[in-house]
């Protein structure tokens, strides 16, 4: 349906003009009209906005050709329709070649209304395409949620600023919300989005027109301050901290206290590449977060802590890329049964990272993955590929054997992880009691509530569970009454020296006795030779794992 339109009529004959107005008015299309009889009045009328112009063909000192040129010079997209009492078809065609959209004879004004409707619809379609193109252009450089510029555009502006040799003092600020994950996980993404919008408004209140504020991703923001001293930037950062802390976010009648950590970097004339600048600011922000919520920190090249963080950050990028490119691989280390009977094959799946220079052991990259919350992604990769391997080889459908998979304590806090394991179990159709998931003793105790809940659910599904590195804290014996597990893996630091240190042997014996009293089986780690194996067997340990038993190796197909 066409909305009412504003029409300018150019005609020296007042009766003809009134007839045109009446025809349009009867159709219900007319919103506003104006009548011009000469060039002066036409130009005066064009100071207003019109949806369509209707012009007589033959007027003294003003032809339809003149009207078309004058209108198009001011409003190129406004359609012009020519009307005439006497106009041959070839003249009408000529008028259309000059820019008119249509021509109508005055003795057949019934054609005028469809012509107007057609041209107005065409104009609306053009406007809609222009709006769509503008929206696409906007979205290419802006974040859809906050309407701030996105990371790509921010990096472009940062690069321009860093390359400008005007001697100005410029500051890069990296901002990271401290409680966003809590809100997002407990209240849902809608609440998280609303929090980001409110934080955006709060930040915008404190920046100048020449400053550049961007959403870099997730709950991270970037702020580029041009021609700003370090002192002024410090004061601004403190104002922002206070503003965000005073922001009382309420969702479904529950209030949340929000804080923000800020890292700052001075952009020097001999500055480093843009990616490195952002990395430095991110590192400073992380150090600020580690030192206490709602903190701020300047990056310093001389600080040893920053070099350590930089190395970790480099690993973060490499881990993410390796997950994306499927650069991880599985190794397997067999265990040996020391007790009587035959329980089938026992062993643990281990992860390695394929690097250009060879395989990288988990001890190199796991600390960074744990610190930057990448372990749930790594654990998902391991579980999926172990299940796939056990399904393809048939090992996961046998009646005997147990295969161990390490999990991070962080992963236990991921509410979607248990559901993902269930889905993988359905996909690969293996027996859940062939799988034993394990976490370290300290991770279990640090995440006790989540650990107990997760272990109970996973064991109800048929899986087994183990506590790894057990015995480091002897007070943990009491937790065996709380944590429902099937195996205890005794920490290798006691096993390695039990032949020479009676205290270590005593700890191994105690762990074994308490475990058996609780109905659990024991596994000794770091079994490096036959003598240690024999001692463990005499103590009554159920299984042994270590280089003296079997070294980790590639999967057998």
Let me know: does 535 contact 499? Beta carbons within 8 Å. yes
Per-residue pLDDT of the chain (557 residues; tens, 9 = 90+): 445 778 888 888 888 888 888 887 877 776 667 788 888 888 888 888 888 888 888 787 888 888 889 988 888 888 888 888 776 667 777 777 888 888 888 777 778 888 888 877 777 776 668 666 666 666 778 888 888 988 889 998 998 888 876 667 899 999 999 888 788 777 888 888 999 999 999 999 988 888 999 999 889 999 999 989 999 999 999 999 999 988 888 888 888 888 899 999 988 766 567 777 888 888 888 888 877 655 888 887 666 666 667 677 778 888 888 998 899 999 999 999 998 888 899 999 999 998 877 888 888 888 888 878 889 999 999 999 999 999 999 999 999 999 999 998 888 878 788 889 999 999 999 999 999 999 887 777 766 777 788 888 889 999 999 988 887 654 457 677 778 889 999 989 899 999 999 999 999 999 999 999 989 999 999 999 999 999 999 999 999 999 999 999 999 87
Helix, strand, coil percent content, the chain, rounded in steps of 5: 50, 20, 30
CA dihedral 311, 315, 318, 319 (to 10 degrees): -170
Q: Kind and range of the H or E element at 408?
A: none
Q: For residues 508 and 490, what is the distance between their CA atoms, to the nearest angstrom? A: 7
Q: What distances in angstroms separate CA 177 from CA 196, 257, 283, one per listed residue?
A: 9, 11, 15
Q: For residues 542 and 477, what is the distance between their CA atoms, to the nearest angstrom? A: 19
Q: For residues 532 and 74, what is the distance between their CA atoms, to the nearest angstrom? A: 95
151-301 belongs to CATH 1.10.1380.10? no
Let me know: does 293 contact 317? Beta carbons within 8 Å. no
Supply φ then ψ for residue 189, to 5 degrees.
Answer: -65, -30
pLDDT digits (tens, 9 = 90+) for 443-494: 777 667 777 888 888 899 999 999 888 876 544 576 777 788 899 999 898 9
Contacts of 523 (CB under 8 A, 6+ apart): 335, 466, 487, 488, 489, 490, 541, 542, 543, 544, 545
DSSP reduced 3-state for 371: helix
pLDDT value at residue 132: 60
Where along the chain do the CATH 3.20.20.450 domains lie? 327-362+372-554
CA dihedral 403, 408, 414, 416 (to 10 degrees): -20
pLDDT value at residue 1: 43
Q: How many CA atoms lie within 13 A of 96 on its CB side?
A: 11
Residue 256: both structure tokens together: 């949340």
Ramachandran region of residue 462, left (φ > 0), alpha (ψ -120 to 50) or beta?
left
Q: For residues 436 and 463, what is the distance between their CA atoms, to the nearest angstrom? A: 6
Helices (H) and strands (E) in the chain, counts: 19, 25
DSSP state of 255: E
Find the distance separating the first CA and the last CA of the chain, reported in whole Å: 68
Where along the chain do the CATH 3.40.50.2300 domains lie? 5-139
Let me know: does 210 contact 248? Beta carbons within 8 Å. no
CA dihedral 503, 504, 510, 516 (to 10 degrees): -160
pTM score, two decimals?
A: 0.56
Q: For residues 94 and 100, what is the distance between their CA atoms, to the nearest angstrom? A: 9
Please name the residue ranges forming H helices in 188-303.
189-204, 230-245, 274-290
pLDDT digits (tens, 9 = 90+) for 191-244: 889 999 999 999 999 888 889 999 998 899 999 999 899 999 999 999 999 999
- Cα angle, residue 318 at apex, residues 312 and 324 outer, rounded to 5°: 140
- Cα angle, residue 66 at apex, residues 61 and 68 outer, rounded to 5°: 145
Q: For residues 143 and 196, what is the distance between their CA atoms, to the nearest angstrom? A: 11
- Could you tell me whether strands 553-554 and 328-334 are parallel, antiparallel, or unpaired per DSSP bridges? antiparallel
Q: Which CATH code for domain 327-362+372-554?
A: 3.20.20.450
- Could you tell me whether strands 328-334 and 346-355 are parallel, antiparallel, or unpaired per DSSP bridges? antiparallel
pLDDT value at residue 162: 83
Q: For residues 355 and 319, what is the distance between their CA atoms, to the nearest angstrom? A: 11
- Cα angle, residue 333 at apex, residues 328 and 336 outer, rounded to 5°: 165
Residue 55 C-alpha from the chain's centroid: 57
Contacts of 507 (CB under 8 A, 6+ apart): 471, 474, 494
Let me know: does 230 contact 171? Beta carbons within 8 Å. yes
Where along the chain do the CATH 3.30.70.270 domains lie? 151-301
Contacts of 209 (CB under 8 A, 6+ apart): none
Supply φ then ψ for residue 124, to 5 degrees.
Answer: -65, -40
pLDDT value at residue 221: 95
Q: For residues 385 and 330, what is the distance between their CA atoms, to the nearest angstrom? A: 8
Contacts of 59 (CB under 8 A, 6+ apart): 10, 11, 12, 37, 38
Let me know: does 230 contact 263? Beta carbons within 8 Å. no
Q: Which CATH code for domain 5-139?
A: 3.40.50.2300
């Amino acid at each position: 349906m066409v909305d009412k339109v504003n029409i300018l009529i150019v005609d020296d004959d007042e009766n003809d003009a009134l007839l045109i107005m009446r025809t349009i008015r009867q159709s219900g299309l007319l919103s506003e009209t104006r009548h011009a009889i000469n060039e002066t009045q036409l130009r005066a009328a064009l100071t207003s906005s019109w949806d369509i112009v209707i012009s007589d063909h033959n007027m003294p000192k003003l032809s339809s050709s003149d009207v078309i040129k004058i209108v198009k010079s001011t409003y190129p997209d406004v359609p012009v329709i020519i009307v005439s009492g006497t106009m041959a078809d070839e003249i009408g065609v000529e008028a259309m070649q000059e820019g008119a959209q249509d021509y109508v004879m005055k003795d057949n004004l019934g054609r005028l209304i469809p012509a107007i409707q057609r041209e107005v619809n065409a104009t609306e379609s053009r406007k809609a395409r222009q709006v769509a193109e503008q929206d696409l252009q906007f979205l290419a450089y802006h974040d859809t949620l906050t309407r701030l510029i996105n990371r790509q555009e921010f990096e472009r502006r940062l690069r321009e600023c860093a390359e400008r040799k005007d001697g100005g003092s410029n500051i890069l600020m990296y901002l990271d919300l401290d409680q966003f994950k809590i809100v997002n996980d407990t209240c849902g993404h809608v609440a998280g989005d609303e929090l980001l919008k409110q934080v955006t408004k709060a930040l915008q209140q404190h920046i100048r027109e020449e400053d550049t504020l961007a959403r870099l991703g997730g709950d991270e923001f970037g702020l580029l301050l041009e021609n700003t001293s370090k002192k002024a930037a410090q004061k601004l950062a403190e104002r922002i901290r206070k503003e965000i802390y005073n922001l009382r976010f309420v969702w479904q009648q529950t209030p949340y206290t929000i804080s923000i950590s800020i890292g700052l970097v001075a952009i020097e004339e001999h500055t480093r590449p843009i990616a490195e600048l952002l990395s430095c600011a991110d590192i400073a922000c992380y150090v600020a977060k580690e030192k206490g919520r709602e903190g701020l920190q300047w990056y310093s090249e001389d600080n040893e802590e920053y070099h350590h963080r930089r190395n970790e950050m480099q690993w973060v990028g490499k881990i993410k890329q390796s997950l994306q490119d499927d650069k991880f691989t599985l190794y397997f280390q067999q265990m040996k049964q020391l007790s009587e009977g035959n329980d089938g094959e026992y062993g643990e799946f281990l992860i390695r990272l394929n690097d250009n220079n060879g395989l990288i052991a988990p001890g190199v990259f796991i600390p960074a993955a744990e610190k930057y919350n990448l372990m749930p992604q790594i654990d998902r990769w391991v579980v999926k590929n172990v299940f796939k391997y056990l399904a393809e080889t048939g090992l996961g459908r046998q009646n005997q054997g147990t295969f161990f998979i390490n999990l991070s304590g962080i992963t236990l806090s991921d509410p979607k992880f248990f559901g993902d394991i269930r889905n993988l179990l359905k996909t690969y159709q293996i027996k859940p009691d062939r799988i034993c998931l394990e976490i370290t003793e300290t991770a279990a105790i640090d995440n006790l509530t989540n650990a107990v809940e997760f272990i109970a659910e996973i064991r109800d599904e048929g899986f087994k569970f183990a506590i790894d590195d057990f015995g480091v804290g002897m007070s943990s014996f009491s937790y065996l009454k709380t944590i429902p597990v099937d195996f205890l893996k005794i920490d290798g630091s006691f096993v390695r020296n039990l032949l020479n240190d009676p205290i270590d042997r005593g700890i191994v014996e105690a762990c074994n006795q308490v475990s058996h009293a609780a109905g659990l089986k024991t596994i000794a780690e770091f079994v490096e030779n036959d003598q240690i194996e024999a001692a463990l067997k005499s103590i009554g340990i159920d299984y042994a794992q270590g280089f003296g038993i079997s070294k980790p190796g590639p999967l057998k197909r």
